[in-house]
Amino acid sequence: MHSPSTPRVALVTGANRGLGRALAHGLARHGLHVVTTARSNDAAQQAAAELRNLGGLASGRQLDVTDPASVFRAFADTIHEHGRLDVLINSAAVAIDRNKTVSAPDMEIIQETMNANVLGVWRCCAQAVPAMKDGGYGRILNVTSHMGSLSTMESSSPSYRISKAALNAFTLVLAHELADENILVNAASPGLADTRLAYGTATQSAEAAAESMLWLALLPDSGPTGGIFHGPDRLAW
């Protein structure tokens, strides 16, 4: 049972930089034990040490969302160590097709993008959900983008756009499946934040963007599920 002496446990992918790092810091400020993950173990451990130096509860795990064995190991070790997993934030992503077109595809880039941005999230959710079901509680936040909105879809960066549209669909399907399990699943776009993946001119810091999204990882049981949000507002997609 959750109590002040047994803090909730959150795992954040891509927690070593940018938006993932800012989200991890936000969770730590709310008293959660944050498992910071990154593709390299050194980066994951450094991110956790940074949180501990600020007074937070944190541990690091190597996790490459494109590597099924890495995903399995990170979640298995986290659940074994803590006996629970309450929150999952899927922040890790790639944006590597800025100058590509859909009519002249680079299939290697497309596969890499879909593997990270869609299948990577799917792998992580598949590992997290059983533990959340066992605990009778779960919050999943998938970081999406305005560029995945079907209502405003354009031709640039096609694999990134399509991957985020697919992530939105995945979010809704998973939310519907888990509607009776007290596992709330939502996606949120940070907008134009100052991160390595930023498209266009940033209008806010990564920290400000993370703060606008963090509420979805801390929802009460009566909170929304199956939503695509930008700040407090639902995003048309």
Q: Which two tokens stand for residue 109?
A: 């880039």
The C-alpha atoms of residue 148 and residue 133 are separated, in whole angstroms, by: 29
Which of left, alpha, beta for 170 (phi over 0: left; psi -120 to 50: alpha)?
Answer: alpha
Is-contact 66 114, C-beta < 8 A?
no
Neighbouring CB atoms inside 10 A of 204's CB total 15
Is-contact 148 164, C-beta < 8 A?
yes
Taking alpha carbons only, the member of 10, 6, 82 closest to residue 51 is 10
**Per the residue annotation, which of 160, 170, 229, 237 is the catalytic one?**
160
Neighbouring CB atoms inside 10 A of 45's CB total 18
Burial class (CB in 10 A: 0-12, 13-18, 19+), 142: buried
Q: Specify whether 199 is catalytic.
A: no
In the 8-state DSSP scheme, what is residue 150?
G
State the catalytic residues: 160
